[in-house]
Chain A
Amino acid sequence: MIHQYKLGGYNIVLDVSSGAVHVVDDIAYDMIALFETTERADVIAAMAEKYGHLPEVSAEDLEECYDQLLELKESGQLFVPDTFEAMAPYLKEKTSGVVKALCLHIAHTCNLNCSYCFASQGKYHGERAVMSYEVGKQALDFLIANSGTRRNLEVDFFGGEPLMNFDVVKQLVAYARSVEKEHGKNFRFTLTTNGILVDDDVIDFANREMSNVVLSLDGRKEIHDRYRVDYAGNGSWERIVPKFQKLVEARGGKNYYMRGTFTHANPDFLKDIQVMLDLGFNELSMEPVVCAPGDPSELTEADLPIVLDQYEKLAELMLERERAGKPFTFYHYMIDLTGGPCIYKRISGCGSGTEYMAVTPWGDLYPCHQFVGEEKYKLGNIWDGVTNKDAQNEFACCNVYSREECRDCWARLYCSGGCAANAYHATGSVKGVYKYGCELFRKRMECAIMVQVAKMADEDDDTDL
């Protein structure tokens, strides 16, 4: 399968199974569209009719172009069949029982009252609670014991607002550091925070111990303060922005994401990205809202063309700023064409429910943070391990080939079948497909690849056709 599209002045052709990316001229672009369905002579004739009037195009040249396509096909870079499906069940067996990442719900409570919060203001539709050190320590022990030969273990301090239980966060990091060497492990911690409780102590700790920090900011003050308010209804933008600026400045180049959410209130989210840039942040993530159907913040069909256009304009802005020496990163456009994931990862997906689980303040295990509170998906707990094998099997069977809708999608090896939680909330099944999200994802991938192509073209005049 191939996917061909025009964006940013480039004709781009993706070969789905090999991962090859080709930049082609108009003749090759049109020829590729006919290549698998039309005889050679008819392809050449069609091209001669369309392009023959151009002085630089000869019959010999068209034959040569066709030969170039044949060579790419024969060398496994174009029209490569997908032969990976047979590997899919084996992959899950390979990773079966190995856990490599936990999302620790360190606080099921929050000091903000954001109406669009998928975690229902941090409570996950349950009681307010904070995780004790004993529960957290057992969770880390569970991770070490179940991580097999994996060296890198990821732990995200999540909530609610994790800084409402900061002392336990510090104690758990100290514990993990004290035992990681003896077990041959390397903990990578992440803190996701709304910023309200960030102070010098937090900044010092986060910049020393956290591989990544995820900082919640929605961009424009009026957009941010529409949803991100305290329990008195006061917006939080003024309070958090100076703290985030101080934290990022002190971070000294270590990873962070300024993470925003866009909703029906701001499908024109590029304005919010521009505000983040103006505030001095340059590692950005802006996500479509996840909410119940019918929620006022839900993105609508009418919003879709606006959002797709914003993604294209975002790509243009990235290139403009790159060329001006003021680059920034956008999480979904950080595609590494040469050092990206192997086919195993691309087929098997995010690992929720198998390699990755969420731990509640009480020590219960769920397939991921977005399933916490869905009782039928409670997998077990950190003392007894996974006991709800039926629920886990639903996730173990999730792969890029388990969804019929993905079979004809060119982006399947870039998303590996999508987010099980998005699918569940949109369709009632983890094997469903969140079609709206797919539309956004495909556009993001087209933009991400175009940005890479343009950067390479900037570095290498040879990319020009």
Chain B
Amino acid sequence: MKHIKTIKTRNLCESAKKGGCGECQTSCQSACKTSCGIANQQCESAKNSK
């Protein structure tokens, strides 16, 4: 019986090895201007490699 379905996500521990290029958008720039949420941003290098 299947109890668990794991959704495909970016592994944050793995991203510690290669991340940090800094090319991503500044959090609230170009958007809400009144709160900080980084979850809704895209990784610039992931976007370019798609």
Contact = CB atoms under 8 A, between A and B. Distances in A.
Contacts of A419: 28, 34-36
A188 B30 contact: yes
B1 A422 contact: no
A356 B36 contact: no
Nearest to A148: B22
A190 B29 contact: yes
Interface residues of B, number: 44
Contacts of A212: 30-31
A28 B7 contact: no
A414 B11 contact: no
A177 B35 CA distance: 30
Given A341-B39, A344-B19, A345-B38, A20 B26 contact: no
B3 A80 contact: no
A84 B16 contact: yes
B40 to A, nearest CB: 4
Contacts of B7: 20-23, 337, 452-453, 456, 463
Interface of A, helix, strand, loop or mixed by DSSP: mixed
A417 B36 contact: yes
Interface in B1-50: 1-13, 15-16, 18-20, 22-44, 46-47, 50
Interface residues of A, number: 97
A162 B40 CA distance: 26
Contacts of A338: 8-10, 46
Contact of B44 (A20, A152, A288, A333): A152
Given A72-B4, A339-B43, A21 B9 contact: yes
A150 B22 contact: yes
Interface in A363-408: 368-370
A464 B45 CA distance: 32
A351 B27 contact: yes
A349 B28 CA distance: 10
A152 B23 contact: yes
Contacts of A83: 13
B3 A68 contact: yes
A437 B37 CA distance: 11
Contacts of A437: 35
B37 A415 contact: yes
Nearest to B49: A339
Nearest to A75: B6
B33 A18 contact: no
B31 A214 contact: yes
A342 interface: yes
B38 A28 contact: no
B48 to A, nearest CB: 10
A340 B27 CA distance: 12
Contacts of B40: 331-336, 340, 448
B37 A341 contact: no
A465 B26 contact: no
Interface string A92-105: 00110010110100
Given A100-B22, A154-B29, A156-B29, A346 B5 contact: no
Contacts of A345: 19-20, 24, 38, 41, 43
Contacts of B1: 56-57, 61, 64-65
A458 to B, nearest CB: 13
16 contacts: A23-B7, A27-B3, A68-B4, A76-B11, A87-B16, A118-B34, A152-B44, A337-B7, A338-B10, A338-B46, A340-B43, A345-B43, A415-B36, A417-B36, A420-B36, A445-B39
3 nearest A-B pairs in the assembled complex, by CB-CB distance: A342-B19, A350-B27, A344-B20
Given A95-B22, A287-B34, 12 more contacts: A22-B4, A22-B7, A25-B3, A65-B4, A190-B29, A342-B10, A344-B22, A345-B24, A345-B43, A350-B27, A351-B26, A465-B3
